[in-house]
């Protein structure tokens, strides 16, 4: 009797589960190569990259600026792994090295979000391709983030999926505004890599990453904050040290949320601009939590009238 009932319940669930519940979370395989373009709409930045990931080989690589800025994360180097970044500094090619430690070992960095915890939302066309849309919502304090990934899959649930588009949309429940957004457009995905792409150039002497220490993680692993769906990003964690360093006290919780938001946008802008390899290096400074209008006033320039004064 119980057996019969159990079977019956199972059947009902299966019928209920139609295509939506029947979908397995997409996987991209244990190694891949992919290109992408990161867009930060608040700063009008578009940043192309190319990435390789090899879980079993314990290594990954991400290139910016058509291969002139290369970052290798090698989990099996030294005792706890190492990161090597090859980048021009004032037109001289330099190498920076960060060694893993027992507490913070270096692991390869994926260029695609980890879809554990995502749920199937809908089918939708993206750039004329019919995609599955997978969604995850996180909440930390007043910050509610919605992540969506558009993927296609060859027939059969077991083949690796192909990423098409990724979007993060941040909503602040205290300010009641959509105050954060970035997207990544993926292309040229292939579930293979060649092992020689992971070998950093030989014979270079690698120095330590430049100060400040708190920013090493972003400098050494530039894509992590964008593909991670952890509710509090590394950029957010830097706001505490920033407030301390520049002795910030805000009038209200609302102002605190607004300033933090400007700070995050400055952070992303600064690091993206530095990766673009201008002949100078922009740093996070005392003005990182200022609005555009405040900065303009400071320089004695009247800001153009604008409805939306975001950074
Ligand atoms: C990128 O590099 C390739 C080959 O190294 C070259 O053909 C191409 O023109 C470069 N693109 C840009 C935008 O510099
Ligand atoms: C990667 O390397 C680290 C450190 O050498 C090791 O602990 C870990 O198990 C390795 N991972 C894989 C998948 O081989
Ligand atoms: C990393 O480890 C290598 C090899 O042990 C060492 O020569 C180098 O000085 C270390 N780099 C840093 C920044 O600690």
Omega of the bond leading into 212 within 30 degrees of 0 (cis): yes
**Best of 79, 99, 216 for a ligand 3 pocket test (most atoms within 8 Å of beta carbon):** 99
| Over residues 44-65, mean pLDDT | 94
233 with 225: CB under 8 angstroms? yes
The three-class DSSP label of residue 285 is coil
148 with 163: CB under 8 angstroms? no
Alpha-carbon distance 166 to 173, whole Å? 23
Burial class of residue 187, CB neighbours in 10 A (0-12, 13-18, 19+): middle
- Report the nearest-CA residue for atom 1 of ligand 3: 99
**How confident is residue 45, by pLDDT bands cut at 50, 70 and 90?**
confident
99 CB within 6 A, ligand 2: no
Name the residue with higher pLDDT: 186 or 302: 186
**What is the pTM assigned to this prediction?**
0.84
Alpha-carbon distance 119 to 236, whole Å? 25
CA of 138 to the centre of ligand 2 (A): 29
CA of 186 to the centre of ligand 2 (A): 28
Q: Report phi then psi at 115, rounded to 5.
A: -90, 5
| Over residues 268-292, mean pLDDT | 74
**How confident is residue 73, by pLDDT bands cut at 50, 70 and 90?**
very high
121 with 145: CB under 8 angstroms? no
Among candidate residues 126, 176, 173, the one with its CA nearest the CA of residue 152: 126
In this structure, what is the dihedral angle of CA atoms 212, 214, 217, 220, given to the nearest 10 degrees?
A: 0
Alpha-carbon distance 69 to 59, whole Å? 17
97 CB within 6 A, ligand 3: yes
Among candidate residues 291, 56, 260, 272, the one with its CA nearest the CA of residue 184: 272
Alpha-carbon distance 305 to 307, whole Å? 7
């Amino acid at each position: 009797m119980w057996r019969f009932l159990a079977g019956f319940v199972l059947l009902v669930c299966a019928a209920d589960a139609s295509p939506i519940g029947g979908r397995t979370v997409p996987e991209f395989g244990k190694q891949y190569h992919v290109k992408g373009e990161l867009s930060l709409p608040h700063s009008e930045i578009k940043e192309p990259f190319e990435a390789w990931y090899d879980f079993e080989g314990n290594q990954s690589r991400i290139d910016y600026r058509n291969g002139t800025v290369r970052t290798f994360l090698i989990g099996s180097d030294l005792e706890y792994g190492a990161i090597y970044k090859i980048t021009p500094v004032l037109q001289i090619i330099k190498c920076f090295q960060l060694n893993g430690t027992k507490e913070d070992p270096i692991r390869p960095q994926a260029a695609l979000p980890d879809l554990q915890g995502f749920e199937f939302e809908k089918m939708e066309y993206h750039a004329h391709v019919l995609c599955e849309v997978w969604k995850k919502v996180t909440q930390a304090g007043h910050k509610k983030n919605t992540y969506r990934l558009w993927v296609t899959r060859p027939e059969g649930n077991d083949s690796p999926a192909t990423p098409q588009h990724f979007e993060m949309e941040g909503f602040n429940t205290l300010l009641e505004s959509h105050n954060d957004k970035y997207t990544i457009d993926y292309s040229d995905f292939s579930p293979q890599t060649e092992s020689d792409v992971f070998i950093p150039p030989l014979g270079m002497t690698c120095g330590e990453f430049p100060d400040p220490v708190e920013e090493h993680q972003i400098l050494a692993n530039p894509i992590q904050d964008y593909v991670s769906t952890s509710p509090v990003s590394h950029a957010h964690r830097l706001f505490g040290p920033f407030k301390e360093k520049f002795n910030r006290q805000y009038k209200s919780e609302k102002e605190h949320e607004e300033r933090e938001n400007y700070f995050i946008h400055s952070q992303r802008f600064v690091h993206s601009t530095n990766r673009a390899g201008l002949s100078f290096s922009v740093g996070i400074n005392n003005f990182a939590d200022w609005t555009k209008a405040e900065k303009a006033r400071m320089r004695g320039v009247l800001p153009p009238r604008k409805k939306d004064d975001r950074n």
